[in-house]
Amino acid sequence: MEEGTSEVPRHSDCTDDACQWDHREDCEVRQILDRIGDKWSMLVIALLDNRCMRFTELRKTIDGISQRMLTVTLRQLERDGLVRRTVHPVVPPRVDYELTPLGVTLHATVQSLVTWTETHQTEIAAARARYDALNPA
Amino acid sequence: MEEGTSEVPRHSDCTDDACQWDHREDCEVRQILDRIGDKWSMLVIALLDNRCMRFTELRKTIDGISQRMLTVTLRQLERDGLVRRTVHPVVPPRVDYELTPLGVTLHATVQSLVTWTETHQTEIAAARARYDALNPA
DNA sequence: CAGTATCCGTGTGGATACTG
DNA sequence: CAGTATCCACACGGATACTG
């Protein structure tokens, strides 16, 4: 924990305003980006937009997710303050999940990334085809 | 390859406009998001903004990346049409990397995610601390 | 229903050595 | 300098079984 290095360690010769974040392994931005970039978190965030969903409802909607990974993902998102988990003391148990206000703001940002991907997926597919044609296995 | 299911398989009870993409495992959006969400791609995209950089320059700037992973990451980005690789036939070799126009558009989108993270990282840290306090290991 | 617990396969990525 | 080529460790995540 070398907290002594108090300066923001952006790379030394960076003079560009757009280069706002550093690139250390322990960079907090990267910690959070790793969460967002994991296999399932974005799917859950996207689904919970404006909506409250139950565990099984999420499980059925997200194709291919295992019970374990849904639990793990929801716990992480809850820990990060992005999702609120509400347990109803009934039998059988009922647990609702919804975005927190913080989660809602993330959803908007993630949505723009999704939109970018949708907009450009044909270009990317074309680029890949071109590359693969020029670079045989 | 069940191309027969021509309908977009968004979850059946979704009536929300914000729910624009489906959640299948083979969803193209997810393929691309997986690339963007991998360990190093975003770092490279972020660094190449408005700039042309050499291999070693990237290597030195991105803390913790191995030679292998930088090569792999750059090749994937090149294949996706996001980065252009230029080899100068000199000795010793010189290879420059820069964003393509498509890569530039992605950079803008990624940057908004980075900005979100920077803006909210203290909130997330607080939420984690709160959660960890309530949920002992 | 909404989980936990356990086991285990695989892919991602790190370390190291070598090369045009 | 800018890579390839191998080898390998470990975290991620899937399958299965069990439970309050």
pLDDT of B6 strictly over 70: no
Count CB pairs under 8 A between chains A and B: 168
- Give the pLDDT confidence score for residue A16 in this predicted structure: 53
Which of A29, A38, A105 lies at the smallest CB-CB distance from B114? A29
Residue A61: CB atoms within 10 Å = 20
Contact B121, A117 (CB under 8 A): no
Q: What does the alpha-carbon distance between residue A72 and residue A109 come to, in Å, rounded to a whole number? A: 23
pLDDT band of residue A14 (cuts 50, 70, 90) is low
C-alpha to C-alpha distance for B8 and B111, rounded to whole angstroms: 29
Confidence of residue B41 (pLDDT cuts 50, 70, 90): very high
**What pLDDT, in 10s, does the model give residues B49-99?**
989 999 999 999 998 899 999 999 999 999 999 999 999 999 999 999 999
Query: How far B92 CA lies from chain A's nearest CA (Å)?
Result: 23
> Dihedral of the CA atoms B125, A38, A20, A99 (nearest 10)?
-50
* Chain B residues closer than 8 Å to A22 by CB: 63
Under CATH, to which class is B18-134 assigned? mainly alpha
pTM over 0.95: no
Record: contact B116-A126, CB cut-off 8 A: no
